[in-house]
C-alpha cells in the first residue's frame, strides 16, 4: 500500500474521534441539568413533593385541580409528579455521589496497600475482594438492606459496601505496575513513609483509571438505588424516589401511564449520560485508545 493510500485509510479514525467528542456534549449538558435540578430543587419544584390533593388524583399531564397545574400529571394521592421527579433527582444523585465517594476511598486505599506492601496484606485484602466479587452485587445489596433495614443512610452504606472491591482490584493492579518505577524505589530508599509513597507518588499516577471506574460506577449506583427503592428496600415513602415512583406506577400503567413513564425517562437519561461520559473519559485517559 502506498503512503497516500495509508493516509486515506487512517483518516476516518480521527474523524470518528472528533465526532464522538462533539457528540458527548449534549449528554454532559443533560447530566449538568440533573445536577442543577437536584441542588435547587426547592426553588425549581412548583409544589411540595408530599402535598396531597385527593380530588386531583391521577390527573393527566397539563390538567388543573384546585388551583394546582399538573404539568406532568399527578399520582395516586394527587401529588404533583413534576415536583416529585425533581426531588427524586436529589435522592438519586445524593445516594450515587456518597456511595461512589465512600467505596472509591475504601477500595483505593486497600488496593494500593495490597499492591505496595504485598505479603500477608496482599493475601488478606485480595481474598476479601474475591469473596465479595463471588456474590452478585444486587443479591448482596438486597440481603444487606434486609438486615440493616431500609433508609437513605443504609442504602448508601450498602452500595458502598458492595462496590468497593472493584476499586480495590483496579488500584491493586495499577499499583503493581507503578510500585517498581525508579521514582517510587528512590523515594522508599530515601526513607519516605508508606503513606507518603502511596498518596504522593503512586496515587497521582493511577488516578486516571480510578476516575473512569468511578464515573461508570456512578450510573450503576443510580440504577441500584432505583432498584432497591422499587423493591421497597430503598428510601422510604413519602420521600420522593424514582424507583418508588416506578413501583407505584406499574399498578396504574393502564389508566395513568405518566406515573411510571416520566420517572423512567429521567432514569434512562441520567444513566445514559453518565455512562457515555465515562466512555469518553476512558478514551481520553487510556493511552492505548489514542
Q: Closest Cα to residue 32, out of 277, 217, 279?
A: 277
| Residue-level pLDDT at 9 | 42
CB under 8 Å to 167, separation ≥6 — which residues? 103, 104, 106, 107, 108, 111, 210, 213, 214
How many structural domains does the chain have?
A: 1
> Would 18 be classed as within a structural domain?
no
Q: Residue 270: which CATH number? A: 1.10.3720.10
> Would 2 be classed as within a structural domain?
no
> Would 12 be classed as within a structural domain?
no
Greatest C-alpha distance within the chain:
77
For residues 193 and 67, give the distance between their C-alpha atoms in angstroms, rounded to a whole number: 67
Write out the three cell numbers for 103. Answer: 467505596
Write out the three cell numbers for 98. Answer: 456518597
Per-residue pLDDT of the chain (290 residues; tens, 9 = 90+): 444 444 334 444 444 444 445 578 899 999 999 999 999 999 999 999 999 988 889 999 999 888 888 999 999 999 999 999 999 999 999 999 999 999 999 999 999 999 888 889 899 999 999 998 888 878 888 888 888 888 889 899 989 988 999 999 999 999 988 888 887 778 777 877 878 888 888 888 888 889 989 998 999 999 999 999 998 888 888 889 999 999 999 999 989 999 999 999 999 999 999 999 988 888 777 655 55
Q: Which domain holds residue 206?
A: 23-50+62-289
Q: 3-class SS at 75?
A: coil
- Which helix H or strand E contains 63, and what residues bound it? strand 63-65
For residues 141 and 90, give the distance between their C-alpha atoms in angstroms, rounded to a whole number: 21
> Would 147 be classed as within a structural domain?
yes
Other CB atoms within a 10 A radius of the CB of residue 205 amount to 15
> Would 10 be classed as within a structural domain?
no
For residues 126 and 123, give the distance between their C-alpha atoms in angstroms, rounded to a whole number: 6
For residues 236 and 244, give the distance between their C-alpha atoms in angstroms, rounded to a whole number: 8
> Would 44 be classed as within a structural domain?
yes
For residues 225 and 136, give the distance between their C-alpha atoms in angstroms, rounded to a whole number: 16
| Residue-level pLDDT at 287 | 52
Other CB atoms within a 10 A radius of the CB of residue 99 amount to 27
For residues 52 and 75, give the distance between their C-alpha atoms in angstroms, rounded to a whole number: 9
| Residue-level pLDDT at 71 | 92
Helix ranges (H only) for 47-151 are 81-117, 119-134, 137-148
| Residue-level pLDDT at 16 | 44
> Would 6 be classed as within a structural domain?
no
> Would 16 be classed as within a structural domain?
no
Extract the runs of DSSP E, i.e. beta strands, from the chain. Answer: 63-65, 68-70
Residue the block writes with cell 473519559: 281
| Residue-level pLDDT at 21 | 57
Amino acid at each position: 500500500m502506498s503512503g497516500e493510500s495509508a493516509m486515506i485509510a487512517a483518516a476516518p479514525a480521527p474523524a470518528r474521534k472528533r465526532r464522538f467528542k462533539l457528540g458527548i456534549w449534549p449528554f454532559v449538558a443533560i447530566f449538568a441539568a440533573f445536577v442543577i435540578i437536584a441542588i435547587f430543587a426547592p426553588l425549581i419544584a412548583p409544589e411540595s413533593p408530599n402535598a396531597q390533593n385527593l380530588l386531583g388524583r391521577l390527573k393527566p399531564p397539563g390538567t388543573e385541580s384546585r388551583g394546582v397545574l399538573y404539568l406532568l400529571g399527578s399520582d395516586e394521592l394527587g401529588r404533583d409528579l413534576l415536583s416529585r421527579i425533581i426531588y427524586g433527582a436529589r435522592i438519586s444523585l445524593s445516594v450515587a455521589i456518597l456511595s461512589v465517594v465512600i467505596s472509591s476511598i475504601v477500595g483505593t486505599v486497600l488496593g494500593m496497600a495490597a499492591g505496595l506492601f504485598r505479603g500477608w496484606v496482599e493475601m488478606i485484602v485480595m481474598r476479601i475482594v474475591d469473596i465479595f466479587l463471588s456474590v452478585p452485587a444486587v443479591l448482596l445489596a438486597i440481603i444487606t438492606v434486609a438486615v440493616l433495614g431500609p433508609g437513605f443512610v443504609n442504602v448508601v452504606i450498602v452500595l458502598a459496601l458492595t462496590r468497593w472491591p472493584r476499586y480495590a482490584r483496579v488500584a491493586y493492579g495499577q499499583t503493581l505496575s507503578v510500585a517498581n518505577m525508579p521514582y517510587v524505589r528512590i523515594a522508599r530508599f530515601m526513607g519516605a513513609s508508606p503513606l507518603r509513597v502511596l498518596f504522593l507518588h503512586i496515587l497521582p499516577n493511577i488516578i486516571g483509571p480510578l476516575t473512569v471506574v468511578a464515573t461508570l460506577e456512578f450510573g450503576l449506583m443510580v440504577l441500584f438505588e432505583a432498584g432497591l427503592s422499587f423493591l421497597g428496600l430503598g428510601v422510604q415513602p413519602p420521600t420522593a424516589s424514582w424507583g418508588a415512583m416506578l413501583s407505584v406506577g406499574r399498578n396504574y400503567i393502564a389508566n395513568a401511564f405518566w406515573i411510571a413513564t416520566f420517572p423512567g425517562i429521567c432514569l434512562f437519561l441520567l444513566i445514559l449520560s453518565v455512562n457515555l461520559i465515562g466512555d469518553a473519559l476512558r478514551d481520553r485517559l487510556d493511552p492505548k485508545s489514542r
